[in-house]
Amino acid sequence: MKSTKTPEFKYVAGWMLSALLMSCPLIAETDAQKEARMNMVETQIEARGVENPVVLEAMRNAKRHLFIPPPRDREAYQDRPLPIGHGQTISQPYIVALMTELVQPKEDFKVLEIGAGSGYQAAVLAEIVDQVYTVEIVEPLSKWADERLKLAGYENVTVKHADGYHGWEEHAPFDAIVVTAAAPHIPPPLIAQLKDGGRMIIPVGSRFRTQQLVLVEKNGDDITTRNILPVRFVPFTRADSD
Ligand code: SAH
């Protein structure tokens, strides 16, 4: 049978499909959201001294509002951490940018993140590096992060539900490690899984005392640590008692 589809039909169908896709919030965004994000990078991140162009570009590209559960997604570009459920928080945008800059990410890097949470820090890293592996101890959050990262189109991030104290042996060693929960000490397995010449950024301290953002550098057997600034992160929790 001869097709009854006229060129007009094809045109209208194509237009309807693109209108549908554009109305999907995960593909499109409003001008206001984009503007808020550009403003965030300028006033919160560049203004505080983050200057690595690849980090600034990643912060301009990663849509933070996609990683925050509604209705707080409306506050995505504000200068503060936000709740993401299960007693956890997404870090302030500046802290995400600073931690990313401090590990000096490069295009060919394989990076381990401990504390996937919303998935946003992993998205920022995935904008820059080759592969991101991220571990999350709260199961529903590991699912949320995985789902959001996929919907946002990141194909170079792998999420695992586990206690990140043990790192991710299977994919080690890593060029860089980013820990986003405050640990009482630097987990030795993470130091072991860092490449020679690699860098790790980790908040160290307890829930009630001042925590320090610590930069760890590994050069052979030589491990150096440098305190960067006082911070406040959610605690690094453990699945078992070791
Ligand atoms: N990087 C996240 C920040 C989330 S807050 C983001 O961009 O949104 C820190 C996360 O670390 C929380 O989700 C918490 O559940 C997780 N966490 C705490 N201890 C952990 C552990 N031992 N292993 C893996 N994840 C852990």
pLDDT digits (tens, 9 = 90+) for 68-101: 999 999 999 999 999 999 999 999 999 999 999 9
Indicate which residue's Cα is closest to atom 23 of ligand 1: 164
Task: For residue 236, give the nearest of 195, 207, 198 by alpha carbon.
Answer: 207
142 belongs to the catalytic site? no
Q: Is the CB of 133 under 6 A from ligand 1?
A: no
Q: Check: CB of residue 122 under 8 Å from CB of residue 144.
A: no
> pLDDT tier at 209 (50, 70, 90 boundaries)?
confident
pLDDT digits (tens, 9 = 90+) for 111-164: 999 999 999 999 999 999 999 999 999 999 999 999 999 999 999 999 999 999
Helix and strand numbers (H, E) in the chain are 7, 9
User: Which has the higher per-residue pLDDT, 18 or 88?
Assistant: 88
8's enclosing H/E stretch is: helix 7-23
Q: Residue 18 Cα, ligand 1 centroid: separation in angstroms?
A: 37
| Structure confidence at residue 108 (pLDDT) | 98
**Does the pLDDT at position 216 exceed 50?**
yes
Name which of 131, 98, 134 is nearest 113 in CA terms: 134
pLDDT digits (tens, 9 = 90+) for 162-192: 999 999 999 999 999 999 999 999 999 999 9
Most confident of 1-15, 155-169, 203-217: 155-169
Q: How far is the CA of 117 from the centre of ligand 1 (A)?
A: 5
pLDDT at 2 over 50: no
Q: How confident is the model at residue 14 (pLDDT cuts 50, 70, 90)?
A: low
Q: Which CATH class is domain 9-231?
A: alpha beta
Q: What is the DSSP string of 35-78?
A: HHHHHHIIIIIITTT---HHHHHHHHHS-GGGGS-TTGGGGTTS
Position 18 scores a pLDDT of: 58
> What is the C-alpha separation between 233 and 223, in angstroms, rounded?
23
Ligand 1 contact via 201 beta carbon (within 6 Å): no
> Which amino acid is located at 45 in the chain?
I
CB 123 within 8 Å of CB 157: yes
pLDDT at 9: 57
Which among 63, 103, 121, 236 is the best mutation to test ligand 1's pocket, defined by most ligand atoms within 8 Å of the CB?
236
The pLDDT, as a whole number, for residue 115 is 98
Over residues 25-56, the pLDDT tens digits come to 556 799 999 999 999 999 999 999 999 999 99
Tell me: pLDDT of 242 over 50.
no
DSSP code at position 162: S
What average pLDDT is seen over the chain?
92
Q: Work out the number of other CB atoms within 10 angstroms of the CB of residue 183.
A: 24
Sketch the domain layout of the chain as residue ranges: 9-231
